[in-house]
Amino acid sequence: MRSVRVLSLLIFLAGNTACSGFLYSTTGSTLSGYAKTHMVPWLMSRQDVGLACATGSAVGPLIGSFERVTDAPDLAGLVSWVGGGMCAEAAAWDAELASIRAVKRGDAAASQDARMVEERHHRVAAMRYVAAWNYAQHHFTGGKGELGGSKCPSVQKDEEIYLLLGSAAGLLAVLHDRASGGAANVDTRILPAAARTAGCLKSARWWGVPAALQAAVWMTVPGSAPKGTDIRKVMDEAAAVGDTAGVRLARALQVVSLEGAGDDAAVAAAVAAHQRSLSAKGAPAAWRLLDGYARRMTQQSVDRVWSRDKGHRGPTGRLELPEKPQANDDADDMLEGLDG
């Protein structure tokens, strides 16, 4: 009798485990489908980047955990980790500005401390963005290859946005890892792979972003552009497409790339163009989040200049660089009398 009871218990536990596995698998598939069909479009329609980053950080681990019981929720995971990357990125940017302001007031220790905080957040951002890239790579290759090869992946029209986000995540993963001093150990081969992947999309359909991503990589890696390519022209044309469409990611990529190249005059012109576009045209309702993120990217570049020049961030509500000090004409007049 005792052996019968033990056997019955084992059968019950085995059946319950199988039932739980089925339940988890079904829940995971349902959650992944819901995220793709409803959560992602809803978030994309909001301009609140902080909301997207908080959602990604909170939901990403839950979505990712279903890999243990069902197929990897690639697309939902991709968007979640992009959102999580935005959170760490924002923290890194705030620490960067704190470091710049500390230099401005002559506090070397505070500047160094903020710099260390910045690098740690860059590391987390790199880890999250590379996770997003890996989800994109797994989905669009069927888990059997790598993105960025000689052939473009087969992409359904309603999934092109995910390939674009994955390409951007790959670029950001490498850039944030560099800013962390390589602490996240991101494979730098992702950079050209992300550029080639972006090139599989029609740039005009996606606000000039694919071309801008490619140009950003070419500016980051000297000699990587196709022979005879005018990188600045490619970037200018891509940014103009985004300005016209009201999704100004290409313009923001231009600002950041030119800033990295040290071309202050070109940065000022690009920032002014971004603000003119914002004043002239609102973002499409379905893509407010991406335009909001673009504005935040350019705002960070603007705030760097303000922090270096004035010791504080730039104005709220406008992308506007500080005016350069004007020449002192009275002093020049006094000096004229000393000539000869």
User: What pLDDT is stored for residue 6 in this prediction?
Assistant: 45
DSSP letter for each residue of 111-146: HHHHHHHHHHHHHHHHHHHHHHHHHHHHHHHTTSS-
3-state SS assignment for residue 264: helix
Distances (CA, A) of 246 to 23, 212, 251, 277, 319: 43, 15, 10, 7, 16
Lookup result for tokens 């319950």: 16
**Residues 6 or more apart in contact with residue 227 via CB below 8 angstroms:** none
Cα–Cα distance measured from residue 24 to residue 19, given in angstroms and rounded to the nearest whole number: 9
302: Cα within 13 Å, side-chain hemisphere: 25
Q: DSSP assignment, residue 322?
A: P
Q: Domain residues of the chain, as ranges? A: 41-201, 204-321
User: What pLDDT is stored for residue 27 in this prediction?
Assistant: 64
Which stretches of the chain drop beneath a pLDDT of 50? 4, 6-7, 9-15, 17, 327-340
User: What pLDDT is stored for residue 143 in this prediction?
Assistant: 83
Cα–Cα distance measured from residue 301 to residue 255, given in angstroms and rounded to the nearest whole number: 7
Nearest by Cα to 167 from 156, 143, 15, 139 = 139
Lookup result for tokens 């978030």: 43
